[in-house]
């Protein structure tokens, strides 16, 4: 692509041909604008988590973000000799998402270790922003699951029944109990209303389905998220949760709405699986990616020992992204069977 400019030579107008690299037309959006918009869309879910779980949950979020930002700054400045780019917001998003998938009562060092792993190993070891294979926050969550299983699996908290929310928000006046997707049923089945607003045990930022749906809808409206990923993901879970024979000892086993609202499905579908770096490039590939996440999530929830399948399903589909891109790439322009896929 070239750009022509008029010049005057000897009194006669001439045209100078300037050859430049793409993009030749720059839009108003850039990486920082997109990243900070995603941060804004994530805030409602985090506020709900702090409201129900207390200020210690806010401490975990802040600690995770600070650890992610500092790790990125140190790596770029002292190890890679690059300009520090923490202002673009990508490390902030990683820190927030990591905190959102942690139980609200984890020890303080767990988000720090997870953030260092997410930024240092998953992101910069593969070349930094735009080059990582897996979603950094989810890869760190999987690492923490193996490294600290006792803290990760047992610290689900919710305020005591009958206790006022405002009287409990400043402390950890809470009980430890199973998450809503605990497979060996021996506890409580939560109402749709509780699951919608987030009045259930769970990780800090994944309990309020309505807050996550509103944030995700805003990102789709702004064009930062392609609707095919969450649509394929959520739609697949709804269908399979109804049709598959369940081996779960719980009354909600084949309740698709319960599977939709419980656990990390909404956070994963709108904010994790839609990561531009680790998801496919083509439209058809995005739909395949979302459906694959839905299939794996449902199979793990129904037939695996682990109670939640969102984390591992997205990581597995991240691994398959290059293969999906290879088989869904559009035909060359002008070919007999051209057209977008």
- Bigger pLDDT: 44 vs 167: 44
The CA-to-CA distance between both ends of the chain, in Å, stands at 25
Report how many helices (DSSP H) and strands (DSSP E) the chain contains, helices first.
14, 4
- Bigger pLDDT: 176 vs 320: 320
Q: Is the peptide bond before 62 cis (omega within 30 degrees of 0)?
A: no
Q: With bands split at pLDDT 50, 70 and 90, how would you rate the model's confidence at 311?
A: very high
Q: CATH code for 31-325?
A: 1.10.3430
Interatomic CA distance for residues 283 and 198, integer angstroms: 32
Model pLDDT for residues 111-121, shown as the tens digit of each residue:
999 999 999 99
At 43 the three-state DSSP class reads helix
Model pLDDT for residues 108-163, shown as the tens digit of each residue:
999 999 999 999 999 999 999 999 999 999 999 999 999 999 888 766 665 544 33
- Bigger pLDDT: 183 vs 200: 200
Model pLDDT for residues 5-42, shown as the tens digit of each residue:
444 555 555 556 555 555 555 556 678 999 999 999 99
Six-digit token string for 159: 């305020």
Give the predicted TM-score (pTM) of the model: 0.85
Mean pLDDT, residues 87-100 taken together? 96
Number of residues that this document lists for the chain:
341
Q: Which residue has the tokens 């030749």?
A: 24
Interatomic CA distance for residues 274 and 280, integer angstroms: 9
Q: Where do the structural domains in the chain lie, given as residue ranges?
A: 31-325
Please check whether residue 328 is in contact with residue 280, taking contact to mean a CB–CB distance below 8 angstroms.
yes
230 membership: H or E segment, kind and range: helix 228-243
Interatomic CA distance for residues 69 and 66, integer angstroms: 5
- Half-sphere exposure (Cβ direction) of 205: Cα atoms closer than 13 Å: 31
Interatomic CA distance for residues 129 and 136, integer angstroms: 10
Mean pLDDT, residues 266-290 taken together? 96
């Amino acid at each position: 692509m070239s750009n022509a400019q008029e010049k005057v030579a000897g009194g006669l107008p001439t045209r100078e041909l300037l050859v430049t690299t793409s993009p030749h037309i720059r839009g108003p959006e850039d990486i920082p604008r997109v990243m900070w918009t995603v941060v804004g869309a994530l805030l409602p879910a985090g506020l709900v988590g702090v409201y129900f779980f207390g200020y210690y949950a806010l401490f975990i979020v802040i600690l995770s973000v600070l650890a992610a930002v500092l790790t990125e700054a140190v790596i770029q400045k002292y190890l890679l000799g690059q300009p520090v780019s923490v202002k673009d917001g990508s490390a902030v998003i990683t820190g927030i998402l990591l905190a959102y998938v942690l139980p609200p009562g984890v020890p303080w060092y767990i988000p720090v270790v997870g953030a260092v792993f997410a930024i240092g190993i998953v992101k910069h070891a593969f070349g930094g922003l735009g080059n990582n294979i897996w979603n950094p926050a989810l890869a760190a969550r999987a690492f923490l699951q193996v490294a600290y299983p006792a803290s990760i699996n047992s610290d689900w908290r919710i305020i005591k029944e009958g206790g006022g929310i405002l009287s409990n928000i400043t402390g950890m006046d809470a009980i430890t109990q199973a998450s809503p997707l605990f497979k060996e049923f021996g506890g409580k089945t939560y109402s749709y209303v509780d699951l919608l607003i987030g009045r259930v045990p769970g990780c800090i930022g994944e309990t309020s389905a309505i807050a996550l749906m509103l944030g995700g809808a805003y990102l789709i409206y702004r064009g930062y998220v392609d609707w095919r990923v969450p649509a394929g993901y959520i739609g697949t879970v709804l269908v399979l949760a109804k049709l598959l024979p369940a081996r779960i000892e719980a009354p909600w086993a084949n309740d698709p709405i319960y599977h939709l609202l419980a656990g990390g499905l909404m956070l994963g579908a709108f904010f994790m699986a839609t990561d531009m770096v680790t998801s496919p490039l083509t439209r058809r590939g995005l739909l395949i990616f979302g459906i694959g996440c839905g299939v794996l999530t449902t199979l793990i929830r129904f037939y695996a020992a682990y109670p939640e399948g969102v984390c591992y399903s997205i990581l597995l589909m991240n691994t398959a992204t290059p293969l999906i891109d290879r088989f869904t790439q559009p035909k060359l322009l002008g070919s007999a069977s051209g057209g977008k896929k």
